[in-house]
Amino acid sequence: MHELSEQEIIRTQKKEALEAMGIPPYPSSSAGHLHTKAETILTQYKEENKANYSHVVLAGRIMGRRIMGAASFVELQDASGRIQLYIQQNAICPEEDKSCYDIFFKKLLDIGDIIEVKGFVFMTQVGVITVHVTHLQLLTKALTPLPIVKEVITKEGAQAYDAFTDPEQRYRQRYVDLIVNPGVRKVFEQRAKLIHTIKTSLNQQGYLEVETPILQPIYGGASARPFTTYHHTLAMPLYLRISNELYLKRLIIGGYDGVYEFAKDFRNEGMSRFHNPEFTQVELYVAYKDYIWMIDYVEQLIEQVALALHGTTTVPFGPHLINFQRPWKRFTMFEAIHHFTGYDIRAMDEIALRTVAGTLHVHVGDNLAKGKIIDEIFSKKCEPYLIQPTFITDYPVEMSPLAKRHRDNPDLTERFEVICTGKEICNAFSELNDPIDQQQRLEEQRSLGERGDEEAMVVDHDFLKALRYGMPPTVGIGIGIDRLTMIMTNSNSIQDVIFFPQMRPENP
């Protein structure tokens, strides 16, 4: 049970006092007026068009008050921003009822309360656009005080105190974070715009948005450890999906030329500023195309996203300026490793690769096979240095069990990733549509699982059955929405771009 603070006890008493006065602290609704947004008034009001603002209605949260006798200034915050209100005693209260202003407004209203006001807009003598309030109604009494930032003016300028900046508390109480840190709302509005831009492009291409199962009897489509649950009626284990790839490929087999899904995926792995166990990606599969086509399309798509959000292809991220203007730099996987480490590993077997990893101080466990060792070397010695968007292409076949073999070298696959700011944001390949080769590779993955690789793929026999009906040449891609949003909004942590990131309970 939550133990009330002194301020919460006082506010609860104020709620009871309002009820005793016949003022409902939580009325069923406002008066049903069409509310004008603060931003609309602040951007469009002019002295010459003030007649258009002779009657406005706003609703929002009290974020500041300056009470001066029979008149007061209030800072009101709605979803669009903040605006100043001017409130006079005789404007909101009957002339004969002095307690209305002195008790209701002065004593029983608090910062954080939600109100609705009517009035007209004017410009103060110091040039501040303000709403002169003629009617005020309480809509919601807030019983817990907000952590309002206090400013003190010193010789060095304005100094802020009591800001709600502790990351853990911000993530746990995102609702408070959104109230007191307006810039946070902007991040999520940009995220929504990013998703809209991608969807618009995919829809214009004629691709179908679909939904596939989140609870799956066989997890597949990626190398990751799943979350496990149990279905009591069916008496069987189920898994939260780690990818929706294999279901989307089934739809291509079924006859669609292009399908995509914005999917919540779940991977039971470590957490960091780049990893959350629940994350969002868009996966797209297009028939009769290959990874060469997809390289051009994704390059154009993400450039379009940058322009939509920033009006330019140059985006700030930490100390860097990320330039998404086409064309981007390209390395093959082996070229990148050679470039950053000096080692040409193309012809090396597992033993030689382990020697190189040891020389480079890259730890690889005994349970890791050749593909995972290459992946570890690349992740530790190449990825962190790829700041500008870069295509890494032509991965070894051991690293890509679902990708088509390279048309010029059967030891490689037609796969690429986009690495940006040192992290993968896209993964794509020409899809393997040979059911015999696919079965062999999944069987090899099963062997790796038996060897101790917890992220090895499992054999999905129904998917193999579907492949035997014939899948046309197809390219697929997954784009990490959370990581792309981090870059596009200059956010340092993935938790900053997820409304409610996973957290350890405060009181387990």
Task: Give the 3-state DSSP-derived string for 228-282, with helices as H, strands as E and coil as C.
Answer: EEEECCCCEEEEECCCCHHHHHHHHHCCCCEEEEEEEEECCCCCECCECCEEEEE
Q: What are phi and psi of 67, to 5 degrees?
A: -95, 125
CA distance 298 to 301: 5
Judge whether 376 lies within some domain: no
Domain that holds residue 283: 183-328+388-497
State the DSSP code for 457.
-
- What CATH number is attached to the domain comprising 86? 2.40.50.140
Q: What are phi and psi of 397, to 5 degrees?
A: -60, -30
State the DSSP code for 311.
S
Judge whether 266 lies within some domain: yes
The per-residue pLDDT for 166 is 87
Examine the domain organization and report whether 441 and 305 are in the same domain: yes
CA distance 139 to 59: 9
Examine the domain organization and report whether 51 and 158 are in the same domain: no
**Pair of tokens at residue 255:** 């006859």
Distant-in-sequence contacts of 438-447, Cβ < 8 A, 24+ apart: 438/402, 438/464, 438/467, 439/464, 441/397, 441/401, 441/402, 442/401, 444/401, 445/401
pLDDT mean by block of 10 residues, the chain; 508 residues = 88 96 88 84 94 95 92 95 93 73 92 96 95 95 88 58 79 93 94 98 98 94 90 95 95 98 94 90 98 98 98 97 97 96 93 94 87 92 97 93 94 96 96 95 86 81 96 98 98 95 79
Examine the domain organization and report whether 18 and 88 are in the same domain: yes
Burial of 259 (0-12, 13-18, 19+ CB in 10 A): buried
* CA-based torsion, 436, 439, 444, 447: positive or negative: negative
Nearest CA to 382 out of 414, 424, 352, 415 is that of: 424
424 is an annotated ligand-binding site residue = yes
The per-residue pLDDT for 457 is 83
Judge whether 379 lies within some domain: no
Amino acid letter, residue 340: F
CA distance 415 to 429: 4
Examine the domain organization and report whether 175 and 260 are in the same domain: no
Examine the domain organization and report whether 32 and 54 are in the same domain: yes
Assess contact for 71 and 87: CB atoms under 8 A.
yes
Examine the domain organization and report whether 298 and 436 are in the same domain: yes
What interhelical angle do 350-359 and 370-381 show, nearest 10? 20
**Pair of tokens at residue 48:** 């010459």
Assess contact for 133 and 140: CB atoms under 8 A.
no
Judge whether 215 lies within some domain: yes
| Count of structural domains within the chain | 3
Examine the domain organization and report whether 192 and 173 are in the same domain: no
The per-residue pLDDT for 508 is 53
Assess contact for 299 and 188: CB atoms under 8 A.
no
Cα distance from N-terminal residue to C-terminal residue, the chain: 14
Examine the domain organization and report whether 205 and 87 are in the same domain: no
Judge whether 342 lies within some domain: no
Assess contact for 475 and 245: CB atoms under 8 A.
no
Nearest CA to 413 out of 476, 458, 455 is that of: 476
Judge whether 96 lies within some domain: yes
**Pair of tokens at residue 207:** 């691709």
Judge whether 370 lies within some domain: no
Q: How distant, in Å, are the alpha carbons of 91, 242, 281, 405 from that of 491?
A: 45, 25, 18, 37
Examine the domain organization and report whether 114 and 194 are in the same domain: no
Judge whether 352 lies within some domain: no
The per-residue pLDDT for 30 is 63
CA distance 374 to 392: 13
Assess contact for 393 and 430: CB atoms under 8 A.
no
**pTM for the model:** 0.90
Asked which of 91, 120, 146 is the last residue of a domain, the reply is 146
pLDDT tens digit string along 267-311?
998 888 888 999 999 999 999 999 999 999 999 999 999 999 999
The per-residue pLDDT for 159 is 56
Examine the domain organization and report whether 287 and 430 are in the same domain: yes
The per-residue pLDDT for 269 is 87
Assess contact for 248 and 211: CB atoms under 8 A.
no
pLDDT tens digit string along 173-215?
999 999 999 889 999 999 999 999 999 999 999 999 999 999 9
- What CATH number is attached to the domain comprising 211? 3.30.930.10
Examine the domain organization and report whether 123 and 227 are in the same domain: no
Examine the domain organization and report whether 201 and 141 are in the same domain: no
